[in-house]
Amino acid sequence: MTRLSVNINKVATLRNARGGNIPNVQQVGIDCQRFGAQGITVHPRPDERHIRYEDVRLLRPLVLTEFNIEGYPNREFIDLVLSVKPEQVTLVPDPPDALTSNAGWDTIANESFLHEVISEFKRHGIRTSVFVGTDIKHVAHAANCGADRIELYTEPYALEYPSNPAAALAPFARAARIATDNGLGINAGHDLNLENLEFFAKGIPLLAEVSIGHALIADALYYGLENTIQLYLNCLR
């Protein structure tokens, strides 16, 4: 079964809008796991507009499933990851002022940089995933950079899915086959939701993990967090 990692950035966004500690990000991390999530994902940004670096440190002893830290690997981010030692780090090529992640790595142009960063994480026993699109050259070359996994950037799938699910899935299924052929594990994330997740997971048989935040937290406003997590898990069974 594909594992569900819940991205709790949006919980921190809500907390930061008012100040104080409501909602409590650490408690939500605990509860997501209690309700069945098999991982917790955070994406700290330099301006700390949602998850703060201190949140990451406070969450570390509370995440008993799998902790996945996403972000652009500047020195501050690298030092945070090395101090916290999550099970997985996901490298994302977004600049500090990006609203959200909107592209994957060009793993060919950035091979030297990625290889250096990934080598540092792997020396500390941290599994490393690289955020990529469906360009098969970039997928295959992630292995040359030393990555353990790729995370497929699925916004294009989500945009095309309502009009043509099969066409939307096709490039991702092809990219997944290339990843497997090159010894890479497969994660996915971005705009996956209750409408499109099941079809995607069935079409990518070796999909190890999905990271879902915005849609899941939005659904929880209507269905409650526990029920929402179960609905997403049902899509992956």
Q: Which residues are catalytic?
A: 43, 70, 190
**What value does the CA radius of gyration of the chain take, rounded to a whole number of Å?**
17
Contact 44, 71 (CB under 8 A): yes
**Interior angle at CA 109, CA 103 and CA 110, nearest 5:** 75
Rounded Cα distance between 188 and 101, Å, is 13
Q: Please give the distance of CA 69 from its chain centroid, rounded to a whole number.
A: 8
Q: Which of 145, 153, 149 is nearest to 127 (CA)?
A: 149
Neighbours of 28 (CB within 10 A): 22
Q: Is 212 exposed, middle or buried (0-12, 13-18, 19+ CB in 10 A)?
A: buried
